[in-house]
Amino acid sequence: MPKSKQDISETVQQESLAVAKATQKKGQTKEQTKLIAAGIEKGIAQYKKQHKAKLREQDKQRKKTIKQRQASSDDVEVVTDDQGRASSNHALPWILLVLSWLGFGAYLFFVR
């Protein structure tokens, strides 16, 4: 569906007219310049449309990759749970607690 002039932003219209005027040849009429500006507007609109489509495709691909990673990480967690291995992350708080109490006991013993 072609875009009407109202759909194209005013800044795009101004920029395209400025580019058309900057590339204007000697003897070129105002109508010809306006036609060139209209062509530039269409080019910008087409570029934006393609860019949005590309971004949508990249977003779909990113979401697909995230889902695959989550699915594979869920599989990995199930495998480690089935193997019954104790993770060192579970023992770390207990080790730190015991060390802190030992340090506190040593402090009280040597300060007195």
Query: What are the tens digits of pLDDT across the range 53-100?
Result: 999 999 999 999 999 988 888 766 544 554 555 555 788 888 999 999
What separation in angstroms does the CA of 35 have from each of 2, 16, 42, 47, 68?
16, 10, 11, 18, 50
Q: Tell whether pTM > 0.95.
A: no
Long-range Cβ contacts of 87-95 (<8 Å, 24+ apart): none
